[in-house]
A and B are shown apart, each in its own frame.
Chain A
């Protein structure tokens, strides 16, 4: 379930299954979205991005879906592997002066062998 406040929610999936990680964003002016993966003790790594003129983008084993109507972003990982275990963050940005990159709270993905 969702954790409000300090700790990140966790998604547990079986190895080989598909994972879906969801993110709600708040700024309707945001027009660029990114998913990052963070392993313990390291900086976040870029996974995939999408601009607001698109609603779907695919990479290798990953797909990002954007629903601007409800301000929702999702990351789908196909055939989840143990190496996918990490914390996943969505980030949003908007064009214009003083544009900044703002991160969501993050979700921990745990892959069961």
Chain B
């Protein structure tokens, strides 16, 4: 059945490492988004993409990178430049002027 899948559910990163979070959707949605959520806080936009091979920075893009080589996939890399990466990361997708569907999130912890 259709949906948006994030993996892994839990991820541990050593300081100085880059890690990549996966987001895949089979909803044929054009737009995809990455949000960061810290405990007890709202969702902050990291990057978004309206179309394949194009993406824009959100409000907190520093220390993150993305790619959009395929419509179905929008991986997020948390680089060593991100000084405080421990958070809950949410990926979403939508099509045109409709509600966004969310994945179940990846909880990233620095160890």
Residues on A facing B (Cβ under 8 Å): 6-8, 32, 34, 36, 41-46, 49, 51, 89, 91, 93, 95, 97-106
- Return chain B residues, CB-CB under 8 Å to A44: 43, 90, 102
Minimum C-beta distance from A62 to chain B (A) = 14
Partner of A41, one of B35, B41, B105: B105
Q: Is A105 a contact partner of B41 (Cβ separation < 8 A)?
A: yes
User: How many residues on the B side are at the interface (Cβ–Cβ under 8 A)?
Assistant: 26
Task: Flag whether B74 is at the interface (Cβ < 8 A).
Answer: no
Interface Cβ pair total, 8 Å cutoff: 64
Separation of A46 and B27 alpha carbons in the complex (Å):
16
Whether A101 pairs with B92 at a CB distance below 8 angstroms is: yes
Instruction: Give me the 3 closest cross-chain CB pairs, A-B, nearest first.
Output: A43-B102, A103-B43, A105-B42
B107 cross-chain contacts in A, Cβ below 8 A: 41
**Residues in chain A near residue B45, CB distance under 8 A:** 100-103
Q: Are A89 and B43 in contact (CB under 8 A)?
A: yes
Say yes or no: B33 contacts A100, CB within 8 Å.
yes
Chain A hits for B100, CB < 8 A? 34, 46, 91, 101
In the complex the two chains form, is B50's CB within 8 Å of A49's CB? no
- Chain A nearest CB from B90 CB (Å) reads 5
Taking A95-B97, A98-B50 as contacts, is the C-beta distance between A45 and B102 under 8 angstroms?
A: yes
A104 proximity list for chain B (CB < 8 A) = 42
Q: How far is the CA of A97 from the CA of B102 in the complex (A)?
A: 22
| A98 to B, closest residue via Cβ | B56
What chain B residues lie within 8 Å of A45 (beta carbons)? 102
Contact B102 A99 (CB under 8 A): no
CB nearest neighbor in A for B50: A98
Q: In the bound complex, how far is the Cα of B17 from the Cα of A22, in angstroms?
A: 41
Residues of B within 8 A of A95 (CB): 97
- Known contacts A42-B105, A104-B42, A105-B42; decide if A34 and B99 are in contact (CB<8 Å): yes
